[in-house]
Amino acid sequence: MNQSIPAEQLAHLQKEFRLLGEETDKSILELRVEVDRLKLEIAALKTILGSIFPTFAEQFPQVLARTIQEVDPEAD
């Protein structure tokens, strides 16, 4: 049995998909902006901590590795 979608309904679905795609693209762009902002803040923090604490650069990788093992980033 061949069931076809009426042209009007198909046009409506196409418009919905296009709008959803545009909304998704906007959300992705907003997330990228936020991630970039966080990267800049982390870089600034690492710079200031490195200037205040001379051993920061050598200790940070160890602290980061331990934190990755111990902290669930998705837990509230």
Q: How far apart are CA 42 and CA 36, in angstroms?
A: 10
Q: Output 1 or 53, whichever has higher pLDDT.
A: 53
Please report the pLDDT score of residue 76 as a whole number. Answer: 74
**13-34: average pLDDT:** 97
The overall pTM is greater than 0.75: no
Q: Output 7 or 42, whichever has higher pLDDT.
A: 42
pLDDT one-digit tens code per residue, 27-73: 999 999 999 999 999 999 999 999 999 999 999 999 999 999 999 99
- Residue 55 has phi, psi (to 5 degrees) of -90, 5
